[in-house]
């Protein structure tokens, strides 16, 4: 319809004013809810042709369009805005075409699909996944599904930060204080066990620093010279030198962590096509740095450290290799980027990383460009905001992080409690109940996080997220389950449902309102993929669910005596459930058939 209207508007300008309006002058948008109409033309850019007032220009173009386009039923002009009303017949024709097809995402397919890599998760092997990782994983996975739905070839990747001083801290603490403790001997999940020793290191290290300060050492020197931190640095050097004892311990403790991560990823419904490890890619990055140094792209400092000067790019000097030859995060990111492009030849690579790393990715792109990698233009930092609890920020060093596994279990328990209060699952088996609790709990968690603009900071409140009313995942899931129950009753009562809508059937205001929202689905998905914002799909699903519930409340469906009207309402219900199911699937959310 938008394409047709654009052509007719250009035609109106030619006929009425003997002018040629370029596409950028045809500003067409959906009519705001407070006004009457379906599409609104902003008239102001066309005044150069009409040489008249906005109101009279709108009246003239509106009159022409209604006469020239049978799909328009009327118009109104409010100041410089021409509101166009599409005929009920056109809306019914659209809906008939929509339900005749099974692929509701077909119109989202782009004409020129790309190969896009999405990197998300990026955990450290010194601690378990936490609430911040949950937002990261959910955003990354939803971006994968959105971009795939639009026809792109998408590779899901993860870079595991499995080397560095922070990893050595956990290893050293376990070596000194662990007494051989393992996940099997302790019954503690592997990533939690390693995280326990990271926190223990920080506590012991803090005690050493305080002891040195009490003996007159200033804080900076105390933090730098405390025995534990010096031992950790020595362990890092041994690791980079390939010391057999250190490497064996590193592999052992990392494997504990990977086993723990796998469980959490499974609970989140997340997987990867390729996992990279910093312990591999930093070597490639180090070689890149040394080659660039030979070509005078980089420079060596007096202490033998290697730097890049990005002042011409509006940045500053950035360290790439320390004076002792050890690598920094930037080194491994350079190596990972080059390796990935060699393996996949991506057109775009999205880094799903929090906004505290904005500067890092500016530097990464600038360094690769300086190293003459033209594909660096395709690197994009998907910078998302931090997530907190009502109690405030989390600090992994102090052991105050919100553990992902604990939060997932808490969401399931909350779903169990809320469902018990509502008494909706009395006739279900225990196995069915557990499955539904998991779907409701995870649906609440995922939706609450994904409905927020990813670029904004957010506060996650578990109790708010699982409300069965309002803008929540369970509300949308319940709407879907309600619709599926209608069709189960239809089958039980022998009520037939025909996808063909009889010609000439009149749709009421509520039916038309649903059809108009359903029509927006493909545009919503396309916009969400183009702008990297799953929140657009999430809030659309809520709008659709809310509109359907109003429709369900106001009208009978199976009890409607007119077969044609009943069939239309069943078709609307079916289409709504399909769109809700597809939309929530794009967010990684499962929809229970019964609740």
- pLDDT tens-digit series, residues 490-515: 999 999 888 888 777 888 899 999 99
* Mean pLDDT of the residues in the chain: 93
269 band by pLDDT with thresholds 50, 70 and 90: very high
Q: What is the pLDDT of residue 588?
A: 98
391 band by pLDDT with thresholds 50, 70 and 90: low
> 334: closest CA among 281, 279, 381?
281
Going from the N-terminus, what domains does the chain have, and what CATH number goes with each? Answer: 2-86 (3.30.1360.70), 120-398 (3.40.50.620), 409-586 (1.10.730.10)
396 band by pLDDT with thresholds 50, 70 and 90: very low
What number is the average pLDDT over the span 227-231? 97
Q: Is the pLDDT of residue 585 over 80?
A: yes
Determine the Cα–Cα distance for residues 58 and 340; give it in Å rounded to an integer. 54
392 band by pLDDT with thresholds 50, 70 and 90: low
Q: Which residue has the tokens 């030859």?
A: 325
Q: Is the pLDDT of residue 133 over 60?
A: yes
Q: Is the pLDDT of residue 2 over 80?
A: yes
Q: Which residue has the tokens 């659709």?
A: 544
Q: Is the pLDDT of residue 399 over 50?
A: no
Q: pLDDT (tens digit, 9 = 90+) per residue, 538-562? A: 999 999 999 999 999 999 999 999 9
How many CB atoms sit inside 10 A of residue 541's CB? 29
Determine the Cα–Cα distance for residues 247 and 245; give it in Å rounded to an integer. 5
CB contact burial 62-79 (16+ within 10 A = b; e otherwise): bebbbeebebbbebbbbe
Q: What is the pLDDT of residue 240?
A: 86
What number is the average pLDDT over the span 20-26? 94
Determine the Cα–Cα distance for residues 237 and 233; give it in Å rounded to an integer. 6
Q: For the purposes of burial, counting CB atoms within 10 Å of the CB of 410, is it exposed (0-12), middle (13-18) or buried (19 or more)?
A: middle
How many CB atoms sit inside 10 A of residue 501's CB? 20
Q: What is the pLDDT of residue 68?
A: 95
Alpha-carbon Rg for the chain, nearest whole angstrom, is 29
Q: What is the pLDDT of residue 582?
A: 97
Beta strands in 22-126 (DSSP E): 28-30, 39-42, 72-78, 81-86, 115-119
Q: What is the pLDDT of residue 119?
A: 98
Q: Is the pLDDT of residue 411 over 60?
A: yes
């Amino acid at each position: 319809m938008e394409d047709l209207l654009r052509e007719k508007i250009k035609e109106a300008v030619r006929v009425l004013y003997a002018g040629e309006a370029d596409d950028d002058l045809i500003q067409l948008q959906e009519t705001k809810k407070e006004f009457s109409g379906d599409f609104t033309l902003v008239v102001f850019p066309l005044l150069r042709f009409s040489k008249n007032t906005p109101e009279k220009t709108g009246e003239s173009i509106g009159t022409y369009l209604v006469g020239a386009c049978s799909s328009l039923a009327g118009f109104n002009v409010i100041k410089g805005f021409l509101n166009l009303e599409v005929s009920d017949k056109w809306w019914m024709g659209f809906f008939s075409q929509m339900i005749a097809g099974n692929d509701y995402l077909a119109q989202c397919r782009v004409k020129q699909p790309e190969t896009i890599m999405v990197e998300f998760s990026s955990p450290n092997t010194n601690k378990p996944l936490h609430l911040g990782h949950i937002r990261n994983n959910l955003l990354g996975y939803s971006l994968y599904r959105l971009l795939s739905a639009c026809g792109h070839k998408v590779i899901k990747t993860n870079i595991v930060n499995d080397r560095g001083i922070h990893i050595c801290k956990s290893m050293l603490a376990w070596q000194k204080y662990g007494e051989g403790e393992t996940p099997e001997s302790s019954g503690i999940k592997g990533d939690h066990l390693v995280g326990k020793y990271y926190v223990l290191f920080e506590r012991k290290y803090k005690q050493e620093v305080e002891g040195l300060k009490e003996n007159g050492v200033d804080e900076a020197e105390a933090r730098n010279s405390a025995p534990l931190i010096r031992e950790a640095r020595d362990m890092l050097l041994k690791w980079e030198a390939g010391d057999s004892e250190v490497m064996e311990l590193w592999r052992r403790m990392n494997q504990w962590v990977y086993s723990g991560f796998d469980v959490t990823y499974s609970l989140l419904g997340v997987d990867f096509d390729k996992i990279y490890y910093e312990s591999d890619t930093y070597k490639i990055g180090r070689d890149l740095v040394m080659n660039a140094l030979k070509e005078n792209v980089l420079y060596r400092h007096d202490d033998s450290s290697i730097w890049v000067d990005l002042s011409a790019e509006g940045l500053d000097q950035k360290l790439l290799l320390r004076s002792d030859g050890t690598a920094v995060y930037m080194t491994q990111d350079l190596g990972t980027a080059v390796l990935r492009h060699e393996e996949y030849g991506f057109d775009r690579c999205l880094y799903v990383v929090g906004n505290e790393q904005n500067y890092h990715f500016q530097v990464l792109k600038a360094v690769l460009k300086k190293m003459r990698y033209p594909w660096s233009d395709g690197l994009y930092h998907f910078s998302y905001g931090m997530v907190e609890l009502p109690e405030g920020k989390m600090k992994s060093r102090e052991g105050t992080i919100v553990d992902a596994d604990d939060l997932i279990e808490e969401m399931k328990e909350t779903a169990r409690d809320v469902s018990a209060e509502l008494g909706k699952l009395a006739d279900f088996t225990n196995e069915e109940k557990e499955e539904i609790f998991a779907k409701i709990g995870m649906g609440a968690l995922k939706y609450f996080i994904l409905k927020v603009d990813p670029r904004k900071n957010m506060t996650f409140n578990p109790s708010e997220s699982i409300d069965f009313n309002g803008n929540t995942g369970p509300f949308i899931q319940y709407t879907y389950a309600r619709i599926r129950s209608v069709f189960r009753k239809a089958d039980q009562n022998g009520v037939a449902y025909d996808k063909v809508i009889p010609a000439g059937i009149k749709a009421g205001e509520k039916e038309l309102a649903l059809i108009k929202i359903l029509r927006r689905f493909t545009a919503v998905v396309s916009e969400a993929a183009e702008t990297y914002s799953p929140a657009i799909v999430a809030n659309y699903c809520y709008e659709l669910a809310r509109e359907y519930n109003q429709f369900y409340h106001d009208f009978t469906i199976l009890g409607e005596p007119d077969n044609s009207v009943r069939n239309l309402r069943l078709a609307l219900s079916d289409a709504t459930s399909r769109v809700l199911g597809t939309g929530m699937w794009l967010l990684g959310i499962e929809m229970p058939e019964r609740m």
